[in-house]
Amino acid sequence: MKAIHHIAIYTNHFDELAKFYKEYFYAVQDGAEYYNPDTHLKTCFLKFDGPVRLELMTKPDLAEQKSGPAKTGITHFAFSVGSNAEVDSLAADLFKAGCRVISPPRVTGDGYYESCVADPDGNEIEITK
């Protein structure tokens, strides 16, 4: 086994989510958008500075998934930005842009310096040093 190749997210806000990751996490689209005329599935891959890509997926009649604190499945994913100052800066930018801040920058119990925010769909993102 080498590494995680990509993480996929279904969304009803395809363009908004792509713009969010491009603007705040410097994602670039990796290849052309894919569209399946039979299923109406639309996808695109976003590439970051590293091997893991994010696949955004949408299709008509996609149900909104509501989740709570005890949900199963992926809880969050994390981006490393390089320094405590970058964590502070990005968290402040996201707060100013109206993103929900789940936890402000801090040292966690396990020793990480991080902040946790929600993307436009509510997916939790840790911003870490």
pLDDT for the residue 82: 92
pLDDT for the residue 61: 79
Q: Is the confidence at residue 2, as pLDDT, over 80?
A: no
Same domain, 54 and 80: no
pLDDT for the residue 1: 59
Q: Is the confidence at residue 66, as pLDDT, over 70?
A: no
Q: Is the confidence at residue 16, as pLDDT, over 60?
A: yes
Averaged pLDDT for residues 78-88: 95
Q: Is the confidence at residue 60, as pLDDT, over 60?
A: yes
Instruction: Evaluate whether residue 69 is within a structural domain.
Output: no
Averaged pLDDT for residues 18-42: 94
Considering only residues 63 and 111, tell me which one the structure prediction assigns the higher pLDDT. 111
Same domain, 5 and 36: yes
Same domain, 79 and 118: yes
Farthest CA pair distance, the chain: 49
User: What is d(CA 112, CA 4) in angstroms, rounded to the nearest whole number?
Assistant: 21
Domain span holding position 27? 1-61
**CATH (domain of 49):** 3.10.180.10
User: What is d(CA 30, CA 103) in angstroms, rounded to the nearest whole number?
Assistant: 31
pTM metric for this prediction:
0.82
Instruction: Evaluate whether residue 8 is within a structural domain.
Output: yes
**Contact at 8 Å (CB) between 115 and 101?**
yes
Same domain, 85 and 123: yes
pLDDT for the residue 70: 45
User: What is d(CA 80, CA 75) in angstroms, rounded to the nearest whole number?
Assistant: 17
Q: Is the confidence at residue 42, as pLDDT, over 90?
A: yes
Same domain, 55 and 2: yes
Instruction: Evaluate whether residue 108 is within a structural domain.
Output: yes
Q: Is the confidence at residue 105, as pLDDT, over 90?
A: yes
Same domain, 54 and 29: yes
Q: How many domains does the chain have?
A: 2
Same domain, 55 and 83: no
Considering only residues 27 and 77, tell me which one the structure prediction assigns the higher pLDDT. 27
User: What is d(CA 118, CA 29) in angstroms, rounded to the nearest whole number?
Assistant: 21
Among residues 128, 121, 118, the alpha carbon closest in space to that of 57 is found at 121
